[in-house]
Structure 1
């Protein structure tokens, strides 16, 4: 850990990650209430806004062309700055078109930062360090989520939405400007290809990202909807679950990193998909709200195991392919962001169990593909 802290890229990414996490947590905490109370959006319009929020995820493969003009660590800082600007402007556009504009602007910054964050971590830390860095960033990000959620809760009755969004957004913008002025490059990494890279030898990485995108949407969209629609969880109960999720993430992410280093990606990801198989079936067939809440907490905990997909890429990729391959994987992951909510929503209308049973089936498929991972555990 001492070697990691000595690397200037570690505090650089930490500032950006905490800023991005704080901004996103504040934005999503306020958005739905603002959309209903100030912008008077209908349920359909909110759905459209949330769908369009995922569209920039498809565009991250274009990051390789942006890197022709600007260095990657600078792009990460600019992305956070753009994200903060989108958040700061929300309160000034209380309308359907206005929310589309600010949401897409915020999302462009968020998604471009997410892919550059992964890429920079894989380039500037070795195979033993990278899982630890990913875990530390996620752990402190979870702690930030708890603090921001509590802060928004405390001031929501006193501070108008416009100024809440403005304050959060400007803090994120300030972090982007600060990091933009820093130079965290201790040692020049291997020069990255400045073109779209899709290689046959990375096929398993692409497949795992595609399946991971489906898993993410079942968790984000349908698991929470199940809690609210069928088990009548209140806003405060959902908030408590969110806090519990972040507490678990804070403590368990470092453990997950140690497991990846000790046992390798194949075993860790296998554990995730075996667990998800039973969790998804539990969503479908358990009928006790407390069991379902427990499954949701486990689901979120397993969600953090996806670190293993990124570290798998690091071990198999040509060092020059890291940036374009990370952006390609992120874009592929987002294919499911459009397909799964729509198809799953239609199937939910037939029987709410169907999306979860399909999720259990996809877990088995994922488990099968994971067995193709041939990398070894890192030396520790």
Structure 2
């Protein structure tokens, strides 16, 4: 009885937080939020078991997993070109098509039995995923005032975290009973459903009176490009070896990794909206600088302490702090004319992947030679290099007109 009452109290608390976070939202933003939920639910079903699938089912070693991360990031390099080719389509159509491709790619993970086949489906899913990243932010920012951009993106992150909790919880409960391949199929279907749902957002959303440039690289946004370049070089490396080390070095199984991801999702759900509110309150300069310093400390902890529980705690902290990368999107939203927002965010993803591809492949080659501790130290060092640039952020009172 007490367990049921506790569960009801938790459920009421989560509903209350969501009601508060989404107060005043229109139907189009609610549709986008539902899409975020479906996509995160789908990803949650397989995110917690992906490393175990690579290591236990496909027999990959640490080097191959890190190289696969580099392969996965290659489509991000071509995002500027892909974005230019589909720029004339409505924003909601581009977003929906990206999710459908992403869902099909992830569902195909279940069919692979070789490294070459895995690399092929990874690229398919990655093309959709890397288009979804800037387009989802652009669509959200097109639906809200600039003054509440941070808290709204934070609320969407919280909704995604809640869906991830549910997905990873289901995976953790069923990982023993079902083949791991099943979760990729179910997750892919949910992502495709999210892609179909987003077509309900009117095609006029995100359409500007001025024509959007197909490709855009401007000196005005150099600081954004530098910060996103560092973002790719450090976090793609850690995202690959963070859970890999827990599986290979400390023997955590699929259920334990899923439970860890559930805990991480709960922490993100509880705090993501508050972090987004902090962005609106104190600005990107302070928020990003503090987050970079804390991220560096977490990675130093990962490098120096050899205890599975401690490393799990560091992983949870890192996953929370990474949500503040939305500050790069809100920064561009504050300084860019509306017609330059989407192409600038797309260019940012390509710049990000100049470093993330190379660093993932380099880390895969170095992991066996220097160990994961040295990689963690390297990632911490790259984060510290970001701090002076974050301190240079200045936001004008009004965004300049497009040249």
The alpha carbon displacement at 1:97 in A equals 4.0
Partner residue, 2:93: 74
* Deviating more after overlay: 68-77 vs 207-216: 68-77
Structure 2 vs 1, CA of residues 246 and 87 (structure 1 numbering), >3 Å: closer, same or farther? same
Q: Contact 1:123/1:322 (CA < 8 Å) preserved in 2?
A: no
Structure 2 vs 1, CA of residues 287 and 37 (structure 1 numbering), >3 Å: closer, same or farther? closer
Q: Contact 1:264/1:376 (CA < 8 Å) preserved in 2?
A: no
Aligned: 1:174 with 2:164: no
How many pairs were matched up?
377
TM-score (norm 2): 0.83
Equivalent position to 1:368, from 372, 383, 388: 388
Residue segments in structure 2 that go unaligned for 5+ positions in a row: 1-19, 399-403
- Matched position secondary structure for 1:25: helix
Equivalent position to 1:350, from 346, 367, 370: 370
1:68-217 correspondence runs (5 A): 68-160=87-179, 164-183=183-202, 185=204, 188-189=207-208, 191=210, 193-217=212-236
The alpha carbon displacement at 1:233 in A equals 4.3
- Matched position secondary structure for 1:128: helix
Q: Contact 2:300/2:376 (CA < 8 Å) preserved in 1?
A: yes
Partner residue, 2:344: 325
Equivalent position to 1:298, from 317, 342, 348: 317
Q: Contact 2:76/2:353 (CA < 8 Å) preserved in 1?
A: yes
CA distance in 2 between counterparts of 1:104 and 1:277 reads: 30
- Matched position secondary structure for 2:385: helix
Structure 2 vs 1, CA of residues 161 and 249 (structure 1 numbering), >3 Å: closer, same or farther? closer
* Deviating more after overlay: 83-92 vs 107-116: 83-92
The alpha carbon displacement at 1:329 in A equals 0.6
The alpha carbon displacement at 1:180 in A equals 2.1
CA distance in 1 between counterparts of 2:287 and 2:107 reads: 39
The alpha carbon displacement at 1:73 in A equals 1.1
* Deviating more after overlay: 165-174 vs 121-130: 165-174
The alpha carbon displacement at 1:372 in A equals 0.7
Aligned: 1:307 with 2:326: yes
Moved over 6 A (4+): 1-4
Q: Contact 1:85/1:173 (CA < 8 Å) preserved in 2?
A: yes
CA distance in 1 between counterparts of 2:256 and 2:172 reads: 14
* Deviating more after overlay: 354-363 vs 154-163: 154-163
TM-score (norm 1): 0.87
Q: Contact 2:142/2:205 (CA < 8 Å) preserved in 1?
A: no
Cα deviation per residue 1:109-138 (whole Å; 9 max; x = unaligned)? 111111211222233322222112211111
Equivalent position to 1:18, from 12, 31, 37: 37
Q: Contact 2:42/2:186 (CA < 8 Å) preserved in 1?
A: no
Structure 2 vs 1, CA of residues 183 and 10 (structure 1 numbering), >3 Å: closer, same or farther? same
Q: Contact 2:158/2:272 (CA < 8 Å) preserved in 1?
A: yes
CA distance in 2 between counterparts of 1:48 and 1:110 reads: 18
Aligned: 1:272 with 2:272: no
1:234-249 correspondence runs (5 A): 234-249=253-268
Partner residue, 2:11: none
Q: Contact 2:137/2:329 (CA < 8 Å) preserved in 1?
A: yes
Q: Contact 1:16/1:80 (CA < 8 Å) preserved in 2?
A: no
* Deviating more after overlay: 230-239 vs 129-138: 230-239
CA distance in 2 between counterparts of 1:357 and 1:164 reads: 34
CA distance in 1 between counterparts of 2:371 and 2:206 reads: 55
Structure 2 vs 1, CA of residues 164 and 243 (structure 1 numbering), >3 Å: closer, same or farther? closer
Partner residue, 2:8: none
The alpha carbon displacement at 1:49 in A equals 4.2
Q: Contact 1:54/1:107 (CA < 8 Å) preserved in 2?
A: yes
CA distance in 1 between counterparts of 2:206 and 2:66 reads: 45
Equivalent position to 1:263, from 282, 294, 299: 282
